[in-house]
Structure 1
Amino acid sequence: MKLFLVAGEASGDKLGAALMAALIDLVPGVTFAGIGGPQMEALGLQSLFPMEELSVMGLLEVLPKYRQLKRRIAETAQAALETAPDALITIDSPDFCLRVARIVKAARPAQKTVHYVAPSVWAWRPGRAAKMAEVIDHVLALLPFEPPYMTAAGMSCDFVGHPVVAEPRATEAEATALRQTLMIGPDQPVLLCLPGSRRGEVKRLMPRFAATVAALRQDVPGLRVLIPTVRGVAAEVRKMACRWDEVPNVISDAAEKRAAFATANLALAASGTVSLELAANRVPMVIGYRMNWLTWHITKRAMLIDTVTLVNLVSETRAVPEFLGRPCRPKPMARALQDLLRDPQRRAAQVSAMETTMQRLGEGGAAPGLRAAQSVLAFLQRG
């Protein structure tokens, strides 16, 4: 069996790696080609080009790189056609992935296509499902309420669970060891700052998060700040962190990142799947996000929901405070973090929402990577 996979950012690399690992166990001799990051490469994928080239988000952010992205789309589609895989599996990053799928389908209409991560049509632009159905045959959904939206548009779809429920978590001993390594006292509060996995996000959010931390420190003496990050933006994060009044610890090692999540008391995070990583570790959080003004204006007008945080959506609560767009300002975010530290009821409400979220995403069941692999195989067997 030959599969062509395309992932465009760190979260997609993680999904792709879990899927690959399960397929390797289920299908002896399976081979992979395509685009991926370090986790997919570790399982044998030779990426056509660095995945980080595709980690761009937002209308104005994409425009300067349009020609390069268009060339990469064409290169990827041509490679997929030359590979002649049993399935083209695109993973998230719809602006890139679905353009690749469209070219491939136009040249080879019988090509079987799978997209991993359903588009959030329940949040904005519901017409995307019908457009996606023109080039995608089968969808692997991360959220339990998504399959009906996909099947209504004409695609088959399985809820396979969110990968966060199967990710390893640090032990108490590992968390204690990290505190000792970084010389953090047992009673010192630890704040995680998570400014995103894209360069544009980091550039916009790091200065705001720095000012938020500075404001919080005035009321929380001894506060220690850790910044877990990913390969694609680690250098940029370290460079910008050096400008903070008190330089935080930037962590990119996977084991140390798990320990950081296990030892944290609270977090300030960009909007995205990181909110689920925090939920899995029961770390109370505040979400802050800022896009380019025009991108945010267009997105806000199209939104069908009043929250973008997955913990809020899946748990059907609004326990996690959000500061999106213009409200993403240091003082209000610092106050919200201070409230989480001081108000046990606020913390308890978040933890309860996190418990509900993890249960609904499949915690305690079969690993999502395995469920995704089984779904792909069942789809291929249907012919």
Structure 2
Amino acid sequence: MRVFVIAGEASGDKLGAALMAGLKELTQVEFIGVGGPLMQAQGLESLFPMDELSVMGIAEVLPKYRHLMRRINQTAKAVLLAKPDVLITIDSPDFCLRVARRVKAASHIRTVHYVAPTVWAWRAGRAKKMAKVIDHVLALFPFEPPFMQAAGMDCDFVGHPVVAERVASMQDATDFRAKQGVGSAPLLLVLPGSRRGEVSRLTPVFGEALQRIMTHRPDLHVVIPTTGNVTDLVHDAVADWPVAPLVLDPRGMDPELYKRQKAAAFVAADAALAASGTVSLELAACDTPMVIAYDMNWISRQIISRMLKVDTVTLVNLVSDTRVVPEFIGKDCQPGPIADAVLSVLDAPGTQRAAMRLTMERLGKGSEAPGLRAARAVLKGLPGVRSEI
């Protein structure tokens, strides 16, 4: 079996690697495509560096448009030349679906897209457009298949990868607190994002919020896990914060050791102030209550705010069908309200815990690993390919 697989950013690389591992467990398979280090560790030789595709936001994409179009055409030609049994595209729809469109226009190669578009949140018409080039969707959330099926695509809920992630033990958390000199003092986890634009926009707001929080919690400790591409930016951005945070730096550290350190910080924290995104699910998996805040480029904010169809973008709120996690998005991303919400969560952390547990249950915790479920779903659509299990 030959699989052409494409991922465009770190989260997709993780999904792709788990799916590739699942396929290798079920059948004989050869991989071609575009991916990051995790997918490469599963046997993929990437056509070009995946991080060329890690661009988010309408205004951010425009300066790189011509280069991205060249990569789209290059990738589509590589798919057609390889003649795979299936093309699997993972998230990054602006890139991946353009590749799929070119492939479908010139062949009958089966196309699978991993991660359903958020048509339940905004731009509902994307599903019908997507159905013209995608045969099958692998969904992360249990409420998504009906939207995809109504547009004419096969769709399987395969579970969210967060349920398969290792969660640190309480002993790990206690050891982390002791090593960092936190002891029994309150510890706030701050997560301003993994993209430079996010960090640049959010760290000043988070710093002002912390100024207000510290007047009520002067013994507060702060920890910021980072990704290597933004660590220097984070260090510069927090230099004038009212509290010197512990910045966890992955550079030069064994990746597995850093992963364990970050996992321990997630469990050790009393609460988190985080950018919007899948990190809310990581926090829920660790039973760490949170406040979510996010802002974006002004142009992107104006366009997206007019398209939103939901009253919350926080995934814990959506999956649990509650609104217990406070969120401050766009124009509401202001230091004062954020500070008040963080203080409230520190005072009453238990108010979110039932919703977090329900979220994990609904995302597949306790079931077969999502990567293996995704692999089974892919093979189900390829009746000519023999599964070994």
Alignment of 1:278-293 (within 5 A): 278-293=283-298
Aligned to 1:193: 190
Same amino acid, percent of matched pairs? 60
* 1:10-89 alignment, distance < 5 Å: 10-28=10-28, 30-89=29-88
Give the direction of change, closer, same or farther, for the CA distance of 1:260–1:27 in structure 2 (3 Å limit).
Answer: same
Q: How many positions carry a matched residue from both structures?
A: 377
* Residue 368 of structure 2 corresponds to residue 366 of structure 1: yes
Which residue in 1 is equivalent to 2:254? none
Which residue in 2 is equivalent to 1:215? 212
Distance 2:55 2:165 in 1: 25
1:255 to 256, 260, 272: 260
**Contact 1:163/1:368 (<8 A) preserved:** yes
Shift of 1:34: 1.6
Residue-by-residue CA offset, 1:312-354 (whole Å, 9 max, x unaligned) = 1111110011101111011210110001111x3xx32311111
Query: Contact 1:115/1:140 (CA < 8 Å) preserved in 2?
Result: yes
2:377 partner letter? S
**Distance of aligned partners of 1:231 and 1:372 in 2 relative to their CA distance in 1, 3 Å threshold:** farther
For residue 326 of structure 1, give the secondary structure of its aligned residue in structure 2. helix
Q: Which moved more, 1:268-277 or 1:63-72?
A: 63-72
In structure 1, the partner of 2:379 is 377
Distance 1:80 1:234, change over 3 A: farther
Q: Which residue of 1 aligns with 2:151?
A: 153
Q: Give me the whole-angstrom Cα distance separating, in 1, the residues matched to 2:169 and 2:78.
A: 43
Equivalent pair of 1:161/1:362 in contact (CA under 8 Å): yes
Partner of 2:224: 227
Offset at residue 230 of structure 1 (A): 2.8
- Partner-residue secondary structure (3-state), 1:381: coil
AA in 1 matched with 2:366: G
**Cα pair 2:221 2:243 within 8 Å, conserved:** no
1:198 CA displacement: 2.0
1:191–1:267 Cα contact (<8 Å) kept: yes
Give the direction of change, closer, same or farther, for the CA distance of 1:214–1:254 in structure 2 (3 Å limit): same
Letter in 2 for 1:143: F
d(CA) in 1 for partners of 2:227, 2:79: 27
* Partner Cα separation in structure 2 for residue 81 and residue 166 of structure 1: 34
Moved over 4 A (4+): none
The residue identity in structure 1 corresponding to 2:190 is C
Offset at 1:245? Answer: 4.3
Cα distance in 1 for partners of 2:229, 2:36 equals: 9
Q: Residues 189 and 265 of structure 1 are in contact (CA less than 8 Å); yes or no, is this contact kept in structure 2?
A: yes
Residue 243 of structure 1: CA displacement? 4.8
Deviation at 1:82, TM superposition (A): 2.4
Question: CA offset at residue 64 of structure 1?
Answer: 1.3
Q: Structure 1 residues 72 and 199 mapped into 2: Cα distance closer, same or farther (>3 Å)?
A: farther
What amino acid sits opposite 1:36 in the alignment? G
Paired residue type of 1:133: A
What is the rounded CA distance, in whole Å, between the counterparts of 1:382 and 1:241 in structure 2? 56
Greater displacement, 241-250 / 317-326: 241-250
For structure 2, the residue ranges without an aligned partner over 5 or more in a row are: 251-257
* DSSP 3-state at the match of 2:332: coil
- Residue of 328, 331, 335 corresponding to 2:333: 328
CA distance in 2, matches of 1:43, 1:95: 25
Question: What corresponds to 2:104 in structure 1?
Answer: 105
- Distance between the aligned counterparts of 2:133 and 2:227, measured in 1? 31
Partners of 2:7 and 2:34 within 8 A in 1: yes
CA separation in 2, counterparts of 1:174 and 1:381?
46
Distance of 1:377 and 1:275 partners within structure 2: 31
- Classify 1:27/1:242 alpha carbon distance in 2 versus 1 (closer, same or farther; 3 Å): farther
Q: CA deviation at 1:189?
A: 1.3
Encode CA deviations 1:251-281: one digit per residue, 9 max, x unaligned.
2321111111111110111111111001111
Of the candidates 280, 300, 304, which is equivalent to residue 299 of structure 1? Answer: 304
Scaled by the length of structure 1, what TM-score is found? 0.94
Q: Deviations over 1:192-222 (max 9, x none)?
A: 1111222221221122122222221221122
CA contact (8 A) 2:214 2:242 kept: no
Letter in 2 for 1:14: K
Q: What is the one-letter code of the residue matched to 2:215? A: Q
The one-letter amino acid paired with 2:193 is G
1:100–1:261 CA distance, 2 compared to 1 (3 A): same
Which of 266, 273, 276 does residue 271 from structure 1 map onto? 276
Give the whole-Å Cα distance in 2 for the aligned partners of 1:235 and 1:69: 27
Which moved further from structure 2: 249-258 or 121-130? 249-258
CA contact (8 A) 1:129 1:150 kept: yes
| Cα displacement (A) at 1:246 | 3.5
**1:284-324: CA deviations, max 9, x gaps?**
11110001122111111111111101111111110011101
Q: Does 1:355 align with 2:322?
A: no
Task: Give the CA deviation at 1:70.
Answer: 1.4
Residue 132 of structure 2 corresponds to 134
The residue type equivalent to 1:365 in the other structure is S
2:171: which partner in 1?
173
